[in-house]
Structure 1
Amino acid sequence: MANNEVIVDGEVVHCVGCGAAVQTTDKNALGYTPESALKKGLENGEVYCQRCFRLRHYNEIAPVSLSDDDFLKLLTSISDTDSLIVYVVDIFDVNGSLIPGLHRFVGNNPVLLVGNKLDILPKALKHNKVKDWLRQQANAAGIWPIGVELISAKTNFDIDHLLDQIEKYRQGKDVYVVGVTNVGKSTLINSIVRQSTGIKELITTSRFPGTTLDRIDIPLNDGHNLVDTPGIIQPEQMAHHLSGKELNLVTPQKTIKPKGYQLNPGQTLFFAGVARFDYNSGDKRHGFTVYAENNLFIHRTKLENADEFYATHVGSFLAPPTEDQKADFPALEPHEFKSTEKSDLVIEGLGWVTIPEGVSVTGWAPKGVSVLMRPAMI
């Protein structure tokens, strides 16, 4: 225990937003809280560190100084428990939010897989198809869940049902909520807390990675706990390549409205400056449907000019990334596919393009971001 941690009645005081131990001496370290704010927080029974206060009131994020090793140590300790693991993934970024080695962290504990952000998927998409897709992707990553649930933490869709399933599977055990950053883990727990206690936004939430800095224990009625853990940072997520404002321009915010394009072979669609879709070969005037953020800037051009066009216009006409960001933005890498049936070309964290049978296409995404093909979901 660090010497500068605040102790009250023999207990270390923790920020109720992120879980970091509160201290009043080092402004640049985790858990810093001014003396005046600490006094007021103790009086109110809710102490927030300065980082969480600024995040909640001004949407201002401070850099996270915990190392990956610190995050993994916290998760590895779960393997020694007898508990239920609620594993939250982003339905729109499944591969980016899967942890292939999850069982190394959770041991033999059962895993309930929860797909979040259902509210942004098109209405025509059948929930059973989504569940099957999630289970297949989890199995491919070596994860064998005892159940798959779909929710929207943002709109509270099916939270009551999820709580029933958690109660069914936990069998009097503690519950650990795990996942990578930016999948809506803390939003989900806020929703659970709000429904059970009436407290709004007890846990700090943000669109930025790395909000929860330590485990947060929420008591259950039988003496066990619901535990929010820090998110594992997954560098392959699209969210790690853009700042908050630009991320909002490419990450779906509301229910997606499909956009149709009639393309000839040799045409390209640019998705702002963050991704690209090439129609290489196939019949003339094929229909392609794009499922992405409704306000995402999409530009059609000729494939033969696409490389030069991108090099000239990325950061300006093709933005985001902005002019200031483009130097650090990863190069777009190609992933070529040929469809044998109606399929979806998925660019993780951005969306997908539904393509017809018998065409050759290429999806381009920032280095490390997954691009894959699946049978069409709609």
Structure 2
Amino acid sequence: MSDAEFEAAVSALDPELRVLLEGEAALDEEGGIASKDSDVQIINEEEEKKLDVCHRCYALKHYNHITTETSPAFLRATQQYGSLEFLKTKRNPLIVAVLDVIDLPFSLGSQLPELIRQNPSARIMIAANKFDMLPQRARRHEQRIRDWIVQHLKQHGFPTQQIRGVTLVSAKKGWGVLGLLRRIDEERLPTDDIYLVGCTNVGKSALLNQIMSQRASKSKRQQYQITSSAVPGTTMGTLRIPLHALHMGTPQQAGGKRRFLEREHYLIDTPGAVNDQQLIHLMSFKEQKKLMRHAELKPVTFRLEAGRSLLLDSFARIDVVESSDPVLFTLFTPMIPHITKTLKMMDQEGPLQPIPQLLSVRGVHNSRASVDLAFASIGWIAVAGMFDNARLRVWLPPNVNPVEAFAIRQPAMLPFEYQGVTRKFFGSGNRARQ
């Protein structure tokens, strides 16, 4: 049919049938087909005005200052908490799960694995953010890290058969973003929206801005710029960016005329799921900003014998209760460590409480870590050594759940980062000497 014949045939149809043919178009007051889709916003760039920015976003963007609370209770009250429930009923959704590669399994959260299990048709793309924070030596082994991530997700009940790919990215430096977009383009169907999900502080908004900077025009970047900061829960609502702004829309046939009104499709940034067991929520805003500065982790190894303790400020402590040989702790954390005698700590009342059970750890080699001791949002400690069986006591703040704020990771994520340089405790002074 010619275009004129097609339009004549459509005009002769019942108005309700015309609405079905035209996708999500609505009837106008006279019973005809409305010319605008409720989900589509036509932007005239010549008439585009500066976007209004709220006081909170302005303070975060220009002064790195927070005007609201950052507590989990506040975030739950203001965010669309639980909004990921809609993923249960979506048919064959394409989900980009953003994880913090230095905060696993805690950046995975508990809500997403359950939702994915309840929707077996969901297709998952894993974006492991903050790859730039891993030591340079470790970044050479990308495939080993990707394999470890998949194995770790499987251990925590994530349905790995639904994973379509794992991409290591850095939202700060732009590493891996184009590779992620290429994989999304290969996986995406013409009818797909793309859902960006993850916990607070994994860097979803920063990743979205990086995608905009690499795919969108200057006018579109200004139009859809997202406020990103180190504050937990910066994104407080669902954000929708049309895929055509990212050159990811359905391509039109060259020289052809679109006869049906197609629904616009979006890249949807959802509010971060709140994990209230992350230790960052116990910090002041000043401490949060300091912790969230993106810098490469510099692993340092301490050699502790029985009767020694390692502290990470007022958020974690590990006592070496028993060990046949020295235990090597390699720290992957921005927190400043403090080494002291366990007896000295027993004489002082501190803000931490011990986990009831002692940890039993076995060493396999001085230069290979057997397990990781991971703490929510502040990094991890790799344990190595030539001991048969060491018993450790872990201390955490009293107002967190040890099961959700602390994890033993086996195998270790970066087992070979020990480089033969240790720092050993000497004497009764609270210092570590090389």
- TM-score, normalized by length of structure 1? 0.76
Other structure's SS at 2:346 match: helix
Matching of residue 152 in structure 1 with residue 157 in structure 2 = no
Other structure's SS at 1:146 match: strand
- Higher mean displacement: 358-367 or 118-127: 358-367
- 1:65-84 alignment runs, 5 A limit: 67=76, 71-82=80-91, 83-84=93-94
Out of 329, 335, 340, the residue aligned to residue 301 of structure 1 is 340
Residues 340-374 of structure 1, C-alpha deviations (whole Å, 9 max, x = no match): 53322222322222222533323333333123132
Matching of residue 189 in structure 1 with residue 217 in structure 2 = no
Out of 320, 324, 346, the residue aligned to residue 279 of structure 1 is 320
In structure 2, do the counterparts of structure 1 residues 292 and 69 end up closer, same or farther at CA, with 3 Å as the change threshold? closer
In structure 2, do the counterparts of structure 1 residues 77 and 354 end up closer, same or farther at CA, with 3 Å as the change threshold? closer
Query: What stretches of structure 1 of length at least 5 have no aligned partner?
Result: 1-8, 15-41, 315-329
For 1:63 and 1:261, locate their aligned partners in 2 and report how far apart those are by CA, in whole Å.
Answer: 37
Out of 170, 179, 188, the residue aligned to residue 188 of structure 2 is 170
Preserved CA contact (<8 Å) 2:305 2:320: yes
Kindly state the Cα deviation for residue 105 of structure 1 after the two structures are TM-superposed.
4.0
For 1:52 and 1:70, locate their aligned partners in 2 and report how far apart those are by CA, in whole Å.
Answer: 15
Kindly state the Cα deviation for residue 53 of structure 1 after the two structures are TM-superposed.
1.5
Matching of residue 56 in structure 1 with residue 69 in structure 2 = no
Matching of residue 204 in structure 1 with residue 227 in structure 2 = yes
Preserved CA contact (<8 Å) 2:355 2:393: no
- Higher mean displacement: 149-158 or 122-131: 122-131
Matching of residue 228 in structure 1 with residue 269 in structure 2 = yes
Residues 42-90 of structure 1, C-alpha deviations (whole Å, 9 max, x = no match): 9724122222122212222223756469634522223333431000111
CA root-mean-square deviation:
3.0
Larger Rg, first or second structure (1 or 2): 2
In structure 2, do the counterparts of structure 1 residues 103 and 345 end up closer, same or farther at CA, with 3 Å as the change threshold? closer
Q: 1:137 maps to which residue? A: 152
Q: 1:6 maps to which residue? A: none
Residues 230-253 of structure 1, C-alpha deviations (whole Å, 9 max, x = no match): 111110112211123213444563
In structure 2, do the counterparts of structure 1 residues 53 and 170 end up closer, same or farther at CA, with 3 Å as the change threshold? same
For 1:259 and 1:91, locate their aligned partners in 2 and report how far apart those are by CA, in whole Å.
Answer: 19
- Higher mean displacement: 264-273 or 131-140: 131-140
Residues 117-176 of structure 1, C-alpha deviations (whole Å, 9 max, x = no match): 111111222323322232123223332222222111111111110111111122231100
Kindly state the Cα deviation for residue 211 of structure 1 after the two structures are TM-superposed.
1.4
Out of 381, 393, 399, the residue aligned to residue 362 of structure 1 is 393
Matching of residue 111 in structure 1 with residue 134 in structure 2 = no
Aligned residues: 323
For 1:276 and 1:74, locate their aligned partners in 2 and report how far apart those are by CA, in whole Å.
Answer: 36
Q: 2:381 maps to which residue? A: 353
Residues 178-207 of structure 1, C-alpha deviations (whole Å, 9 max, x = no match): 011111010000100111124268101111
Partner amino acid for 1:226? L
For 1:174 and 1:303, locate their aligned partners in 2 and report how far apart those are by CA, in whole Å.
Answer: 55
In structure 2, do the counterparts of structure 1 residues 303 and 373 end up closer, same or farther at CA, with 3 Å as the change threshold? farther
In structure 2, do the counterparts of structure 1 residues 121 and 66 end up closer, same or farther at CA, with 3 Å as the change threshold? closer
For 2:291 and 2:230, locate their aligned partners in 1 and report how far apart those are by CA, in whole Å.
Answer: 13
Other structure's SS at 1:93 match: coil
In structure 2, do the counterparts of structure 1 residues 274 and 70 end up closer, same or farther at CA, with 3 Å as the change threshold? closer
Partner amino acid for 2:87? I
Other structure's SS at 1:87 match: strand
In structure 2, do the counterparts of structure 1 residues 73 and 275 end up closer, same or farther at CA, with 3 Å as the change threshold? closer
For 1:146 and 1:354, locate their aligned partners in 2 and report how far apart those are by CA, in whole Å.
Answer: 30
Partner amino acid for 2:344? N
For 2:149 and 2:82, locate their aligned partners in 1 and report how far apart those are by CA, in whole Å.
Answer: 27
For 1:240 and 1:332, locate their aligned partners in 2 and report how far apart those are by CA, in whole Å.
Answer: 20
- Higher mean displacement: 84-93 or 209-218: 209-218
For 1:292 and 1:66, locate their aligned partners in 2 and report how far apart those are by CA, in whole Å.
Answer: 26
Partner amino acid for 2:147? D
Other structure's SS at 2:136 match: coil
Preserved CA contact (<8 Å) 2:96 2:127: yes
Residues 308-349 of structure 1, C-alpha deviations (whole Å, 9 max, x = no match): 3462xx6xxxxxxxxxxxxxxx75646623125332222232
Preserved CA contact (<8 Å) 2:75 2:274: no
Matching of residue 97 in structure 1 with residue 103 in structure 2 = no
For 1:88 and 1:245, locate their aligned partners in 2 and report how far apart those are by CA, in whole Å.
Answer: 25
For 1:286 and 1:179, locate their aligned partners in 2 and report how far apart those are by CA, in whole Å.
Answer: 35
Other structure's SS at 1:207 match: coil
Preserved CA contact (<8 Å) 1:100 1:141: no
- TM-score, normalized by length of structure 2? 0.67
Other structure's SS at 1:92 match: coil
Out of 224, 227, 242, the residue aligned to residue 219 of structure 1 is 242
For 1:271 and 1:153, locate their aligned partners in 2 and report how far apart those are by CA, in whole Å.
Answer: 27
Matching of residue 255 in structure 1 with residue 296 in structure 2 = yes
